[in-house]
Amino acid sequence: VLVGLLLPAVQKVREAANRMSCTNNLKQIGLALHNYHDTFKRFPPGYIDGNTNRASTPDNDVGPGWGWASFLLPYVEQGNVYNQINFKVGVGIGSNIAISQQPLKLHQCPSDGLQDAFPVYDSTFTAPIATVGHGNYVGCNGWEECFWNSGGVGDPAGNDGLSGGYGQSGNGLFYRNSRTRIADVTDGLSNTIVVGERSSNHAPSTWTGAVTGGRCPAWMATQPPSPYAPPPGPPYDNADFDEALVLGHGNATHLPSADFPIFDPDVFYSFHTGGANFLFGDGSVHFLSSGIDPNTYQYLCTIAGGELLSDW
């Protein structure tokens, strides 16, 4: 009986320590973002790609795909890792194979059991095309609606990511080849999410960036209720509200819940009970409850939406 009483208490203490460690990771990332901005007068790009047509989707990406976290490496005492990357070569290929698989402790929430590298599959889930280091923290692209028709194609035209903002441009801080400045964040840095958690049980994410040709290379969508069947592949989250977007492999979001049971490659998600940690533009870290108002959640993900925020 004594052991039975002690075990929950020990687990509670351990989780509290893990959540604090996760918070500290995000604070370090926030400091690095501002130091980068001090140097370059802008934040790092969501990810870099030779496809500069902002109207095209990431399905047309050509690489190299290195993402915002890779550009912060010199600012988080990882200059040795940074110096091993050939930024002209894609993530997970050629001379970058070994470095792409390296895990970084700063980008790992200790509550998540997956700390190893994982395979990224091609667009048909047929075969792995690269292996990348796991990371729990993904950049925020903003939010957008996405509807699926019975064939798994975005519908109606103009309201889905295929003709909207699946990464090529977004109303958040990070997107393909983004060059966002502090001056662009007119909603206020303290009211803007820039990075959030995603845990591996819905779909692993990586600190490296976007693997060209991979499933959801930096693919962004939201999924409010749809009268149509979801596209082929793993089950999708048909949530009952518009959601926010994430930048990484597979990226739309559900509310930041640790309790949502469906596999979804597109979520902010954590193993912390009741919500997830989020880094804001001013460098602060907030734990957002899974009970947050969905509209407020959306508004926090834009940099210049001009929305009126309720208490959160």
Q: Is the peptide bond before 227 cis (omega within 30 degrees of 0)?
A: no
Give just the sign of the alpha carbon dihedral 103, 107, 110, 113.
negative
| Residue linked to tokens 């519908």 | 155
d(C-alpha 63, C-alpha 72), whole Å: 19
Going from N- to C-terminal start, the domains of the chain cover 8-300
Residue with tokens 């492999």: 249
Q: Which residue has the higher pLDDT, 267 or 309?
A: 309
pLDDT value for 6 = 65
Pair type for strands 244-247 and 275-280: unpaired
Weakest mean pLDDT among 66-70, 101-105, 154-158:
154-158
pTM of the predicted protein model: 0.81
Categorize the per-residue pLDDT at 102 as very low, low, confident or very high, splitting at 50, 70 and 90: very high
Tell how strand 118-121 and strand 128-132 pair up: antiparallel
* 44-90 pLDDT per residue, tens: 998 899 988 777 766 678 889 999 999 999 999 999 999 999 999 99
Tell me what the mean pLDDT of segment 292-310 comes to.
Answer: 84
Rounded to the nearest integer, the mean pLDDT of the chain is: 76
């959030």: which residue's tokens? 196
